[in-house]
Structure 1
Amino acid sequence: MPDLHWTIPVARWSSWPAAATAAPDIGFIEPIVRRRLSTLSRVALKVAHDCVAQDEVRVVFASRHGELRRTTDILRTISAGEPVSPTSFSLSVLNAMTGVFGIARGDRSAASAISAGAETLGYALLEAYAQYATEPGAPVLLVYADEPADPAYGTIEDEVQGGAIAILLNGDATAGQLVCTLSGAGEPETAEAAQGASHTDEESESGTEESFASQSQALQHCLETGQPAVWQSAGAAWHWRLHDRAI
């Protein structure tokens, strides 16, 4: 399969580290709703709110595990023969955050949710770009938030690190142009191909790519430092570069 290249106009972006000890400020959410939210939804709402004000915006939410911890608690409750809270059930779905965000802002714009294993963030970036490209006049907000699965599920390959990232796709691109490349998708990647993927002419201009254990770590490094970054799976490599001008 040929390499895929796309460029995202980054108007604003925000992140929340997995190691943060302080609680995210989501005062724009009503207290009665706020106290029922999970940590995952709280950090997702925090970075989303950082990127948009009151303007209408389409939302693409991405998470590998989503509200799996809440769902696991519900299953344990059922197993114990206890009643399940309707609120907990309604907030256990993958797109719970998008519903809360839209209601809080009075925004009925389209919202979607994506989960694609260890490559969730990469495919969410592709989906957000596709939505933006079909209607460039309407901004798209990408929100990625995740946390490790409950220990009950055992060892998970390429487990997520946690934390959250939000990117607002808009024409002004004040934060730069994020160049995304997916190489080797759908076919085995040889050692030679992987090595070559990290040394293209364009990347050599801005420095050698640094490899990371998760997609979110690689993307955040690129956004924070402006340096190219890569994340590799068994069959594909995801590359990110940030430019302060259109390409």
Structure 2
Amino acid sequence: MLDLHWTLPVARWSCWPAGATAAPDIGFIDPLVRRRLSSLSKMALKVANDCAAGLGPVRLVFASRHGELRRTTGILDDIVAGQLISPTAFSLSVLNAMTGVYSIARRDRSPATAVSAGAETLGYALLEAHALYSADPQTPVLVIYADEPVDARYGAVDHDMPAGALAILLEHGAIDRLECAAGCASEEVEEVEGALPSAFPTQGEALMHGLTSRAAVLWQGLGRRWQWSLQAGGAV
């Protein structure tokens, strides 16, 4: 398999770190909707608004390995207990629930995509964002990644992401660029000079470190190697 290399124009980015104790401020969401949202959606909406507040139409790529699994698990518990299922809980249990809430709040009918690809979810979301941006560079693309650990009843999960969220806005004319590469672990992948070794448990932790420190980072999962490097340069 050929290695993949692509470049994303990063206008701004925002993260909600793992271990944060304060509640995300999502005051731009209607209170009646806000009180029904999960912690996952609140984190995602917070970082999304940090990046895209005040902008016009924005295409969305929402990525989450587990999505609203906690809410789904609660629904299954209710079924087992013979209780009625809340229509609201069901409607907010789907993977793309957050994109619907955000689009309605923004009154934005731009396309939205939801991505889930196991431990490599974030990497494939960035690849999807590249495809969208390449098709129409004039309309911004907002990548939102949010996840939280699964319930203990599901057992151990390899490369499980701690609770947190990350948003990256791709916009024409951005000065920063994110160099991305992916390839099979069995093949040689041209490494960015100075890339840190794959010491990060998850893709999210690796990329957040790279964005914060502007250091090239690499991460290897099950059969594929990913690498990112945030650089300043000419507008993309």
In structure 1, the residue matched to 2:2 is: 2
Residue pair 2:195, 2:218 contacting (<8 A) in 1 also:
no
**Secondary structure, aligned partner of 1:182:** strand
In structure 1, the residue matched to 2:202 is: 214
- Find the aligned partners of 1:141 and 1:228 in 2 and give their Cα distance: 22
TM-score by length of 2: 0.95
Superposed displacement of residue 13, structure 1? 0.5
- Find the aligned partners of 1:137 and 1:208 in 2 and give their Cα distance: 31
**Secondary structure, aligned partner of 2:233:** coil
Could you tell me which runs of 5 or more consecutive residues in structure 1 were left unpaired when the two chains were aligned.
Answer: none
In structure 1, the residue matched to 2:159 is: 158
Superposed displacement of residue 139, structure 1? 0.6
**Secondary structure, aligned partner of 2:14:** strand
| Residue correspondence of structure 1 range 1-247 to structure 2 within 5 A | 1-54=1-54, 55-174=56-175, 176-184=176-184, 189-190=185-186, 197=189, 200=191, 203-204=192-193, 207-211=194-198, 212-246=200-234
Superposed displacement of residue 172, structure 1? 2.3
- Find the aligned partners of 2:90 and 2:222 in 1 and give their Cα distance: 35
Deviation digits for residues 106-160 of structure 1 (CA, Å, limit 9, x no counterpart): 1111101000000000000000010000000111000000001111111112212
* Structural RMSD (CA): 1.3
Residue pair 2:149, 2:161 contacting (<8 A) in 1 also:
yes
Superposed displacement of residue 210, structure 1? 3.3
- Find the aligned partners of 2:60 and 2:67 in 1 and give their Cα distance: 16
- The one-letter amino acid paired with 1:209 is L
**Secondary structure, aligned partner of 1:137:** coil
- Find the aligned partners of 1:117 and 1:234 in 2 and give their Cα distance: 10
- Find the aligned partners of 2:52 and 2:163 in 1 and give their Cα distance: 22
**Secondary structure, aligned partner of 1:84:** coil
Residue pair 1:210, 1:228 contacting (<8 A) in 2 also:
no
Could you tell me which runs of 5 or more consecutive residues in structure 2 were left unpaired when the two chains were aligned.
Answer: none
- Find the aligned partners of 2:36 and 2:222 in 1 and give their Cα distance: 39
TM-score by length of 1: 0.91
- Find the aligned partners of 1:28 and 1:236 in 2 and give their Cα distance: 39
Deviation digits for residues 177-197 of structure 1 (CA, Å, limit 9, x no counterpart): 00000011xxxx34xx5xx64
- Find the aligned partners of 1:31 and 1:78 in 2 and give their Cα distance: 28
**Secondary structure, aligned partner of 1:22:** coil
Q: How many residues align?
A: 233
